[in-house]
Amino acid sequence: AVKDQLYKLASASLCSNVPGQIMTSLMVNGPKPGDSSYKSHEEEKKAIFDSLKRRAQIATDGLNSIPGFECQVAQGAMYIFPKVSLPKGAIELAEQNGVAPDTLYAVSLLENTGICVVPASGFGQEKGRFGFRTTFLPSEEEMVRVVGAMRKHHEDFCARFA
């Protein structure tokens, strides 16, 4: 009985609260044609969607311009999964420390730039494929800065472990 109550308590924390549920309902059930806010809502929705497409392109093009990176264009999610070539020294150090090489890379990226990514090894990659998952949700201007910081980090990382 105690176990059931703990399970119920844990499950309840997975659900959004009532205000969150109301806001979600309003988001997915927007104004209808003829409503006073319909036109402005549709314009705003299009502007956000178009900006997301531009941010995805900025991130993908920017990462693909970094030597050693390969990245596919996002196909509907707000994530991209670049493949990253890592120097042999980094792979060896990661193995010596019992961590995945892309985890070593992700931690280095976080420590040196403040950019947080998720190592691809957590997603069941093919042996020898290294990379990470990241989002393109920052503003367009911020995406340009992020890509530049990733470029500098990768250059420094590769030089350090060459």
Q: What is the mean pLDDT of the chain?
A: 91
DSSP strands (E only) in 47-89: 69-70, 79-80, 83-84
25-70 residue pLDDT tens: 888 888 999 999 999 999 999 999 999 999 999 999 999 999 999 9
Q: Say if residues 30 and 45 touch (Cβ distance below 8 Å).
A: yes
pTM of the model as a whole = 0.79
Percent of the chain with pLDDT over 90: 73
- Is residue 19 pLDDT above 80, yes or no? yes
Beta carbons of 70 and 83 less than 8 angstroms apart: yes
Positive/negative CA dihedral, 61, 63, 64, 70? negative
Query: Mapping DSSP to helix (H, G, I), strand (E, B) and coil, where does residue 105 land?
Result: helix
